[in-house]
Amino acid sequence: MIFDLDGTLVDSLADLADSMNEVLAAYGHPTHPEEAYRLFVGDGLAQLVERALPADARQNDVVELFTRRMSEAYSRRQTARTRPYPGIPELLRTLAERGLRTAILSNKPDGPAGEIASELLSPHVFDRVRGARPGVPLKPDPTAALELASELATEPAGCAFVGDSEIDIRTGLAAGMLTIGVTWGFRDEDELVASGAQRIVRHPAEVFEIVGGAAASR
């Protein structure tokens, strides 16, 4: 089981929005309502920053500066308002009890991804937690997903990729994995369907119904 993090396991929208708005306000730029960040996030920190900046302020050097400032602001509050979605702790506990291996693959920077998983999703211990790392393409490139499958000694066809956005579905499909789109995250069901999600779930308990049944049939 490979999970996306933000919008799939944890609701981090408020902390992401608060951090980016803090930086925008410090430089005199307009801020955005929290809901707007649903469409800003998912492609990595630099893309979030570029989308949040006014169109006339998106020069490369400005984006680089604001990306650093956003990283600093977010590091001070990354779990202030972020919480696991209802049902996620129970799902992770069930997966562990049934012996299914779990990993996280996020476009969030690698350090914060690991810290959030450790702080908010404990006592569950993931076999691997991977965020954005130098030299490794971001999702939807399948490189990191295939790397995880190899590290866990599992064929891609034996993996499920679970996420809340088109980026996650495209990643799983490109890697040859079962793709499960969740509707409680940052994007809507229409996006998941249009991107080719093989399964759609509306509650975390449904994830185990899918992967448990698939495991039993093998």
Are 61 and 131 contained in the same domain? no
CATH number of residue 18's parent domain:
1.10.150
CATH number of residue 207's parent domain:
3.40.50.1000
Asked which of 37, 58, 75 is the last residue of a domain, the reply is 75
Confidence of residue 139 (pLDDT cuts 50, 70, 90): very high
* First-last CA distance in the chain: 15
What pLDDT does 217 receive?
A: 46
Element (H, E) at 131: strand 128-132
Higher pLDDT, residue 212 or 218: 212
Q: Tokens representing 22?
A: 């803090």
% the chain with pLDDT above 70: 97
Are 115 and 211 contained in the same domain? yes
The whole-chain average pLDDT of the chain stands at 95
Confidence of residue 211 (pLDDT cuts 50, 70, 90): confident
Are 202 and 142 contained in the same domain? yes
Confidence of residue 215 (pLDDT cuts 50, 70, 90): low
pTM above 0.85, yes or no: yes
Are 87 and 195 contained in the same domain? yes
Asked which of 75, 93, 113 is the last residue of a domain, the reply is 75
Are 109 and 211 contained in the same domain? yes
Given the residues 4, 6, 164, 168, the one annotated as active site: 4
List b or e across 151-168, with b for residues whose CB sees 16 or more CB atoms inside 10 angstroms: ebebebebbbbbbbbbbb
Whether 141 sits among the annotated catalytic residues: the reply is no
pLDDT digits (tens, 9 = 90+) for 127-137: 999 999 999 99
- Maximum CA extent, the chain: 58
Are 92 and 117 contained in the same domain? yes
Asked which of 36, 54, 75 is the last residue of a domain, the reply is 75
What pLDDT does 212 receive?
A: 74
Are 101 and 132 contained in the same domain? yes
Q: Is the pLDDT of residue 187 over 50?
A: yes
Are 91 and 137 contained in the same domain? yes
Spatial separation of the C-alpha atoms in residues 6 and 112, rounded to whole Å: 11
Q: What total number of domains does the chain contain?
A: 2
Q: Is the pLDDT of residue 89 over 90?
A: yes
Element (H, E) at 162: strand 160-163
* Domain with 51 in it: 13-75
Are 64 and 154 contained in the same domain? no
What pLDDT does 213 receive?
A: 61
**CA dist list (Å): 180 to 34, 112, 147, 162:** 26, 24, 19, 5
